[in-house]
Amino acid sequence: MQFIKSLIFNFLFYLFIIIIFLSAIPALVLPKKVTLIFGKICAYVVIFLLRFVLNTKVIFHGTDNLRKKERFFIASAHQSLVETFLLQAKINYPIFILKKELLKIPIFGWHLKKIGSISIDRDKVNKENLGFYDKIISATIKTNRPVIIFPQATRTEISERQPFKKGVSKIYEKLNFICLPVALNSGNVWPKSGNLNSNKTITVSIIEQIPAGLNPDDFLKKLEHDLYSELDKIR
């Protein structure tokens, strides 16, 4: 039964995502704000499918922390594909930092470019990567949209406690914005390896801010502590 549910969810998930992105092709020639709306539509489609196919609720904690007048960026745990959609349900039109390869995917990659996603080639040091932090600063100042970064740099198992990449402390230092850590347990439903699980609850916890201006090393230690401590509570 679980295998059948998993099969149905995967089929509907990718079907709806393809339909949404195909229907959004005309938006590629319209203003960026129009294209951004489709990300939020995807978020609520995913929440719907989780609830009615896998009997899994999505609960958001700490959304009051998003109502900030100061500029901020998000540092989120990363366990599955779904959080790239779920976060857009509560965070308005974020800028994602992602692997360069994703921009090469037809249609999907076109949308990622259109909405201003920032790519990096993690395996090479080149001129484009050297201007990576300048791109982030420029994008956030011009658009007033929050950046989302995954400090683990890749999907992890829910029990993994990998050290965070130092790049997130560099972004923190360069932006000089407050940071909102986000802990989540989506790996309980869609693990890095293995089948999907049902009858669960996905908790997305937006943790209290880390103020701007800390020493980058101190920031990284605090971020890692705060995020993993919250993960231990919700896992």
Q: How far apart are CA 43 and CA 97, in angstroms?
A: 18
Q: How far apart are CA 54 and CA 183, in angstroms?
A: 21
Q: How far apart are CA 212 and CA 172, in angstroms?
A: 8
Question: What is the reported pLDDT for 128?
Answer: 53
Distances (CA, A) of 212 to 145, 177, 209: 17, 5, 9
Report domain extents, the chain: 2-234
Question: What is the reported pLDDT for 125?
Answer: 47
The second-level CATH assignment, the architecture, of 2-234 is 3-Layer(aba) Sandwich (3.40)
Could you list the mean pLDDT of each consecutive 10-residue stretch along the chain, which spans 235 residues?
Answer: 88 91 84 84 95 96 85 94 92 86 82 83 54 83 89 88 90 93 95 88 96 96 97 92
| Cα–Cα–Cα angle for 147, 57, 42, rounded to 5 degrees | 45
Say if pTM beats, i.e. exceeds, 0.75: yes
